[in-house]
Amino acid sequence: MKLAHLADIHLGFRQYHRLTPQGINQREADVARAFRLVVDDVIDAAPDVVVIAGDLFNSVRPSNPAILHSFNQFRRLRLALPEAPVVIVAGNHDTPRSVETGAILKLFEAVGGVHVVVEEPRDLLFEELDLSVTCVPHVAWLAGSRPTLTPPGGARYQVAVTHGEVAGVLPRDAGAMEYGGAVLEPGELNAERWDYVALGHYHVAHKVRDNAWYSGALEYVSPNPWGELKDEAREGRKGQKGWLLVDLAGGAAVEFRPIPLARRLIDLEPLHAAGLPAEEIDGHIRKQIEGVKEGIEDQVVRQVVFDVPRPVARDLDHAAIRAYKASALHYHLDLRRPGPHREVGVAAPGQRQTLAEVFNEYLERRPLDADVDRDRLVALGRTYMDEVERALLEE
């Protein structure tokens, strides 16, 4: 009995400004490509059941190309593996915030053999496989009464599928966590009672228990892809995305199956520029760019440079920086200014808050409507402040 475990596909995800010749955002096309390649690999592996543990789409209102692409891929999957049911559980990204908003996931119920669970927990029984799949969508964890993950019994194989953050089991500084996820206590999984627990929400493949895993995302679609690289390095899979093939008959033997990515994420070694003139910083940046194996063309690149005062930043070679940006799909020169100091009292050194810090504190304490996610608002505000800062430096 083999199970394919996918999650956090985020079809419709858009980032950066480059378009394909067909007018599709390049990163949206990358994500669609990743899903197609995974479907290819799933078909080759021929599992008995396929589960998607949330966030098939990046939003409750995905683009028309994302909807069409996903529909075609599910149809292709069902034609190739007509006996393997497909189970989709809604995550936080593809769950409507109000009852008036329809759930696009239900569209896939029109494809025979596809089972969708959006709101209430649901037990699915596949008698021909002697398998039960208990599905707990993201929104069920936010309801007034918490669901109980308990096997229904009666089937040889019993699997749970859900979407959320299992508290305390991920690295404390996990960089690939999404915002706005439900938090599950480890005991709520009742992992010892299941043959397998398929989890979604964390974008890095990660073992919670021998029989409970996050499969990770298929592409870099979180607010912090650089944090994902660090988390992947801890798992021994830096720069790898993929899915999990689980042999339930073998005591939940889990195989991570990577897929080739459309492009690399290149996080260059940080530079420390305290006291250096602009020309010398330019030289260090150029040396790092030229040292990238196979070059930066069409890749996603970040270069962090610490301790760059505003006057020095203005004197950098911005023509060269624009050339790097034109070559890469995205080149992010992250210039960090020295920490400002002020005098407090009589000759007492102290730290003065930057404008970004003041802005963040304001957003963190400002009263918000109940349906506004504060963490996402603060993160978005920080992103805009960083963009303004970089624009000022490049004037």
Last residue of a domain, one of 231, 259, 287: 259
If asked whether residues 286 and 226 sit together in one domain, one would say no
Query: Dihedrals φ, ψ of 302, to 5°?
Result: -125, 135
If asked whether residues 210 and 143 sit together in one domain, one would say yes
Q: What DSSP designation does 293 have? A: T
How large is the average pLDDT for residues 353-364? 65
pLDDT by residue (tens digit) across 227-249? 899 999 999 999 999 999 999 99
Residue 256 pLDDT exceeds 90: yes
Q: So what's the pLDDT on residue 136? A: 95
If asked whether residues 251 and 274 sit together in one domain, one would say no
If asked whether residues 311 and 192 sit together in one domain, one would say no
Q: Largest Cα–Cα distance in the chain?
A: 80
Residue pair 178/222 in contact (Cβ under 8 Å)? The answer is yes
Closest CA to 119 of 150, 85, 88: 88
Q: Read off the tokens for 110.
A: 């029109």
Q: Read off the tokens for 345.
A: 């009292």
For residue 192, the one-letter residue type is: E
Q: So what's the pLDDT on residue 347? A: 47
Q: What DSSP designation does 352 have? A: P
Residue 365 pLDDT exceeds 80: no
If asked whether residues 96 and 196 sit together in one domain, one would say yes
CATH number of the domain enclosing 47:
3.60.21.10
In the chain, the number of structural domains is 2
Q: What is the mean pLDDT of the chain?
A: 87
Please state, in angstroms and rounded to a whole number, the distance separating the CA atoms of residues 366 and 374.
9
**CB contact set of 374 (below 8 Å; sequence gap of 6+):** 363, 364, 368
Last residue of a domain, one of 259, 274, 290: 259
Query: Dihedrals φ, ψ of 232, to 5°?
Result: -65, -35
Please state, in angstroms and rounded to a whole number, the distance separating the CA atoms of residues 292 and 319.
20
If asked whether residues 369 and 309 sit together in one domain, one would say yes
Locate all alpha helices (DSSP H) within 12-63, ordered by sequence: 26-45
Q: What DSSP designation does 311 have? A: H
If asked whether residues 111 and 77 sit together in one domain, one would say yes
Element (H, E) at 197: strand 196-200
Report in angstroms the alpha-carbon separations of 169 from 7, 57, 196, 214: 18, 26, 17, 11
Q: So what's the pLDDT on residue 169? A: 77
Q: Read off the tokens for 231.
A: 């988390």
Please state, in angstroms and rounded to a whole number, the distance separating the CA atoms of residues 58 and 8.
8
**CB contact set of 121 (below 8 Å; sequence gap of 6+):** 134, 135, 136, 137, 140, 147
If asked whether residues 90 and 228 sit together in one domain, one would say yes
The boundaries of the domain holding residue 175 are: 2-259
pLDDT by residue (tens digit) across 25-84? 999 999 999 999 999 999 999 999 999 999 999 988 888 999 999 999 999 999 999 999
Please state, in angstroms and rounded to a whole number, the distance separating the CA atoms of residues 100 and 96.
8
Which residue's entry shows tokens 């999404």? 178
**CB contact set of 35 (below 8 Å; sequence gap of 6+):** 9, 11, 69, 70, 73, 218
